[in-house]
Amino acid sequence: MLDTVGFIGLGIMGLPMARNLQRAGHRMVVQSRTAAKAATLVEEGAVAAATPREVAARADVIVTVLPDTPDVEAVVAGPSGVLEGVRAGALLIDMSTISPGVTRRLAARLEERGASMLDAPVSGGDVGAIQGTLTIMVGGAARDFERAKPLFEVMGRHVAHVGGIGAGQVTKAANQVVVGVTIAAVAEALVLGQRGGVPAETILDVLGTGVAGNRVMELKRQKLLTHVFDPGFRAELHHKDLGIALAEGRESGAALPVTALVDQLFGVMKRKGWGGEDHSGLIRVIEELSAQRTGSQ
């Protein structure tokens, strides 16, 4: 028999993920800051709960998909939070992208209640969430991973158990480091080409054939060529994720000098008012740093 699944956080990622679980036959108890977001799921048979505590009291497995570390802390450990209602033997699966350190601390709090936790951040964006093709990076105990696996297989295509609690978040942070730094690399290459008379299309075509080839150049090609940076993945979220990577590096002792610089550039992008654009719009920062003053000097 399928578990009752509690689901907290019905945003651009959470809603389609919850819908996929519901369509796979799970009984759903859902909760979101904006109650209206639960409406379509409730029409299809889900129960709406008023608080995370109420979700926890009704479910064997609780999934959280929330924007940032403080949101997960509040939902799990805050007033009317999961910890107040959680059953012994229950499993919390946090699929948000948050701090590995906070993850480990929340897992310890759940353990005190006889419950357990997996961290299972995803990549693949809203399209992957809708299509059930996410990559899911899972940290936690093997028995918990096995228990959650059928749910992951509904929501994702590449599901990897990468280590103990927090390891999923560490892997996601590493992923965001590579994607963010690659975007910066491609941006600098394109600006170097631009100013040296080589069109962006040529740079992308030629570099794509060799060791320089990467998925950022493939997937962001149109955005980089047209300079229309509709998200996609918002730069402000990538900035948040690099903040997580840097905080984790500070805690674990990993030196991340290049990540630190790219984090600064994403910070500039936000302060320019471009934080809502796709992360590939980072090239606008490099272009602005390269622009020559045209008025009086």
Pairing of strands 116-119, 91-94: parallel
Three state DSSP letters for 17-49: HHHHHHHCCCEEEEECCCHHHHHHHHHCCCEEC
- Identify the residue among 3, 12, 24, 163 touching its own copies (CB under 8 A): 163
- Identify the residue among 249, 269, 274, 277 touching its own copies (CB under 8 A): 249
When computed from its CA atoms, the radius of gyration of the chain, rounded to whole angstroms, is 21
Tokens representing 136 are 């899911």
- Identify the residue among 1, 36, 88, 255 touching its own copies (CB under 8 A): 255
By beta-carbon proximity to its own copies, the closer residue of 52 and 166 is: 166
Give yes or no for residue 174 binding its own copies (CB under 8 A): yes
- Identify the residue among 40, 58, 214, 276 touching its own copies (CB under 8 A): 214
Give yes or no for residue 225 binding its own copies (CB under 8 A): no
Give yes or no for residue 189 binding its own copies (CB under 8 A): yes
Which position has the token pair 């984790």? Answer: 248
Tokens representing 262 are 């790219």
Q: CA 231, 37, 235: angle at the middle one, nearest 5?
A: 20
Q: Do residues 292 and 258 touch, judged by C-beta distance below 8 A?
A: no
Give yes or no for residue 194 binding its own copies (CB under 8 A): yes
DSSP secondary structure letter of residue 237: H
DSSP secondary structure letter of residue 271: I
By beta-carbon proximity to its own copies, the closer residue of 45 and 197 is: 197
Give yes or no for residue 184 binding its own copies (CB under 8 A): yes
By beta-carbon proximity to its own copies, the closer residue of 41 and 173 is: 173
- Identify the residue among 21, 30, 72, 203 touching its own copies (CB under 8 A): 203
Contacts of 182 (CB under 8 A, 6+ apart): 214, 216
Active-site residue, 149 included: no
Instruction: Give the number of other CB atoms < 10 A from CB of residue 74.
Output: 14
| Catalytic residue annotation | 172
**Contact residues: its own copies, CB under 8 A:** 100, 123-124, 135, 137, 158, 160, 162-164, 166-167, 170-171, 173-175, 177-182, 184-186, 188-199, 202-203, 205-207, 209-216, 219, 245, 248-249, 252-259, 261-262, 265, 286, 289-290, 292
